[in-house]
Structure 1
Amino acid sequence: MADEGSLLSVRRIYYRGKLNSCNYTCSYCPFGKKSHRPSTAQDRQAWNRFITAIEQWKGETLQLFVIPYGEALIHRYYREGIVRLAALPHVAGISCQTNLSFLADEWLSELRAIPALRGKIRIWASFHPEMTTVERFAGQLHRLCKEGIQVCAGAVGNPSAKNVLNELRKALSPEIYLFINAMQGLKSPLSDEDVRFFTRLDNLFEYDLHNAPAQWEHCASGRTSCFIDWKGNIFACPRSKVKIGNLYRNQTLDTSLPCRRKVCDCYIAFSNLTNHPLRRVMGEGAFWRIPDRPLITAVFFDVDGTLTDTQGRVPESYADTLRYMAESVPLYLATSLSVEQARRKLGKALFGLFKGGVFADGGLLLYGNGQHLCLPVELPSDINEESVRITAHSYQGQIYKYSILIRDKERREECLSRFEENSCRIFYRPPLIAVTHRQAGKKRGVLQICEKLSLPLGQVLVVGNSLHDCEMMAAVHHSCAVVNSEPLLKERARYTLNPDRLPAFFRFRK
């Protein structure tokens, strides 16, 4: 392995040619104001020179990303060059930013002779509502995706385009990640409602909205990744103005030169920060902006605040996603609610999508194969009084949870003391007291179901919203806090995603 400071230690390269024009004329884009020039000889020559240098590469296995100033894939020489690079054994993958205005079928036809290369090619597709339709853009993307090319889609967060961006999200397959870039040059900041809207479309929007402080000591740029322009000049990343080498003149990088920027103000820049949360959420796919999508063979959902909104209802987008997921992966609940309460909250149809789960904080386990485990609970004899409203939750004749409503504060405190003497497990939210068996617990329940059904913990996803869920989420490899979760839970969870965005970040067993 090459030493740091050697060009051969680089594993990821961004390339930008001399091309600086586009066939689109979007009002918000500087490249759209430049007409497409028929003469591309200099850009083509630079591109071929870069390809030759990569063919002769003697260093680490490479990932390559073409990030043109304009639209590259309408030019055949770019498409042919990408295929040529993808065919190299030391190139693990190659991506290109594009507006998808090229003919997907034409490129797929060009790839037909070497279908294995499609698995190496990725597409970062940008949607421009002024220049194309949702139907055409989504159709192109799905066509490429169907043929084994990994894709992501993105758009500028223009408040005036909210309706069409919402249509785009609905038109795209749930498995395609749609990102929203914060719009630059707005006369006034985004409203809170705009931010909430764009965050619903892209749960990672907050990172693009606020960017990140530059941290040279935590940056992979200029060390294991770099940006190369059409002259072969090397920079830490596309936002850095400090030249640290040249691809065609030497094999060393001057890593002593910091980029001098105070903020990483674009995705490509801050995705190279090794301590950025994106690295945890996207994995190695952060380079492409395409999530790694680890395999998941079972999902556990909390209910209140996770599957339901502030009004206690399940949003339609969540319901659609649950139906979609249930076709590929077994779903389970992990809730403090009883079976009856969960069925009432979710509705009979949605509740029927779940194989079973952990109910009453582990007081009852339904394994989904007709088997169950009930931890029976009893109340002290002196609790049953007229001033106390008691609801018993039972399964096949066994009581596994009591819900006790006590309006009088002094009486509540007396009852709490009695429950503690009996070593019951108590969940207290005045004026309600929930009582379950002392051994009940969401974590214990999730682990028991996984053991009983031979579900590997490394392929189990748990989704919750409160610190009450933290213990069970820590018991599995893939933990997810919904966007409106308690801040501390989001810090501890591996992912922060809403239920309707899960298919874009996880691969479910087919």
Structure 2
Amino acid sequence: MTKHSVIFFDIDGTLLNHKKELPQSTKEAIFKLKEQGHIVAIATGRAPFMFADLRKELGIDTFVSYNGQYVVLNGEVLYTNPLNTSSLLKLTEAALLNNHPVVYMDHEDMRANVPEHAYIKESIDTLKIGMFPTHDPSYHEGRDLYQTLLFCPEGEEQQYEQEFSDFDFVRWHPVSVDILPRGGSKAHGIEQILKKLGVSNEDIYAFGDGLNDIEMLTAVHNSVAMGNAEDSVKKVAKYVTKSVEDNGITHGLKMVGLLS
């Protein structure tokens, strides 16, 4: 190909398999894209500090993190969209009454408002990031937070959805929900990068597998759902590739013509 494209990849279930490992075929495909002059970027719900090692391994310095709330282009912060502090304080107070802990997250760290809780350990452990939030109930004071984790069983987040219209709630684990600014999404974060780069929509590609990828896969012209994605995700994608466990990234890049 002579044209240079921008390709956004989700992390969990897309770049990384279910053991949180980077398949060798995926690594080789990423470097082939870069050799061809394409821009390879990450679009994830994770915090920047949760995938610093992966960025270093793949040589990636452009990313959309926190589902669009903290965007970096070529190593420089391009766009931020923090949570409403007063609404977050009220939500935290309500959550404490329900024994639903929260974890505050900025671009550098994450801190829990309770010393320990089984739900926090259960869900954070699945990320296999080698770190755990420490206790600091005042971490939200005097700093911008781009995402907060609410820990509660499925369905119990509905009471917060009804009361706090400033936020969107996206479940990522049976006992944990992402709290994001209303209307924030990977798609919106990607839009900030595309406006800066001036790239046409036909030269944009995105790969994902989760519910938080739906807006991204709907908005991006060349969208690819992983074979391990839920049906609702596959329905909005232009293409469906193989599972992450079955060289899905390499197969998908060949499907869309980026690799031969």
**TM-score normalized by the length of structure 2:** 0.69
Residue in structure 2 matched with residue 324 of structure 1 by the alignment: 32
Q: Is the 8 A contact 1:330 1:355 kept in 2?
A: no
In the TM superposition, 1:134-283 aligns within 5 A as none
Measured in 1, the distance between the counterparts of 2:214 and 2:4 equals 19
Q: Which amino acid aligns with 2:151?
A: L
Measured in 1, the distance between the counterparts of 2:224 and 2:238 equals 6
Q: Give the CA deviation at 1:301.
A: 0.7
**Rg larger for:** 1
Correspondence 1:403 to 2:111? no
Q: Tell me which of 421, 427, 430 is aligned to 2:170.
A: 427
Q: Give the CA deviation at 1:472.
A: 1.6
Q: Which amino acid aligns with 1:371?
A: V
Residue in structure 1 matched with residue 249 of structure 2 by the alignment: 499
Q: Give the CA deviation at 1:295.
A: 4.5
User: CA RMSD for the aligned pairs?
Assistant: 3.0
- CA offsets, 1:359-408, max 9 Å, x none? 111122222251322211131341474944432221375210112334xx
Measured in 2, the distance between the counterparts of 1:296 and 1:478 equals 14
Residue in structure 1 matched with residue 57 of structure 2 by the alignment: 349
Residue in structure 2 matched with residue 169 of structure 1 by the alignment: none
3-state SS, counterpart of residue 61 of structure 2? strand
Q: Tell me which of 351, 371, 374 is aligned to 2:77.
A: 371
- Detail structure 1 runs of 4+ shifted over 4 Å in the superposition: 293-296, 505-509
CA gap 1:362/1:294 in 2 versus in 1, 3 angstroms = same
Measured in 2, the distance between the counterparts of 1:421 and 1:492 equals 29
Residue in structure 1 matched with residue 9 of structure 2 by the alignment: 301
Correspondence 1:477 to 2:186? no
Residue in structure 1 matched with residue 47 of structure 2 by the alignment: 338
Measured in 2, the distance between the counterparts of 1:488 and 1:294 equals 34
In the TM superposition, 1:443-482 aligns within 5 A as 443-482=187-226
* Gap runs ≥5 in structure 1: 1-292
Q: Give the CA deviation at 1:501.
A: 2.9
Q: Give the CA deviation at 1:306.
A: 1.0
Q: Is the 8 A contact 1:464 1:480 kept in 2?
A: yes
Q: Is the 8 A contact 1:303 1:333 kept in 2?
A: yes
3-state SS, counterpart of residue 148 of structure 2? strand
Q: Which amino acid aligns with 1:449?
A: I
- CA offsets, 1:315-357, max 9 Å, x none? 111112112222321111111112122336x37423xx22322
CA gap 1:503/1:299 in 2 versus in 1, 3 angstroms = same
Q: Which amino acid aligns with 1:455?
A: V
Q: Is the 8 A contact 1:294 1:506 kept in 2?
A: no
3-state SS, counterpart of residue 38 of structure 2? coil
Measured in 2, the distance between the counterparts of 1:426 and 1:466 equals 14
Measured in 2, the distance between the counterparts of 1:491 and 1:385 equals 38
Correspondence 1:312 to 2:23? no
Q: Is the 8 A contact 1:306 1:464 kept in 2?
A: yes
Q: Give the CA deviation at 1:467.
A: 4.5
Measured in 1, the distance between the counterparts of 2:95 and 2:203 equals 45
Q: Which amino acid aligns with 2:14?
A: T
Measured in 2, the distance between the counterparts of 1:336 and 1:426 equals 12
Larger relative contact order (Cα-Cα within 8 Å, sequence gap ≥ 6): 2
In the TM superposition, 1:83-162 aligns within 5 A as none
- CA offsets, 1:24-70, max 9 Å, x none? xxxxxxxxxxxxxxxxxxxxxxxxxxxxxxxxxxxxxxxxxxxxxxx
Q: Give the CA deviation at 1:436.
A: 1.3
Correspondence 1:392 to 2:104? yes
CA gap 1:371/1:348 in 2 versus in 1, 3 angstroms = closer
Q: Give the CA deviation at 1:484.
A: 2.3
**TM-score normalized by the length of structure 1:** 0.37
Measured in 2, the distance between the counterparts of 1:326 and 1:392 equals 35
Measured in 2, the distance between the counterparts of 1:480 and 1:374 equals 26
3-state SS, counterpart of residue 62 of structure 2? strand
Q: Give the CA deviation at 1:305.
A: 0.9
Q: Is the 8 A contact 1:295 1:506 kept in 2?
A: no
Q: Is the 8 A contact 1:380 1:419 kept in 2?
A: no
Measured in 2, the distance between the counterparts of 1:294 and 1:469 equals 28
3-state SS, counterpart of residue 198 of structure 2? coil
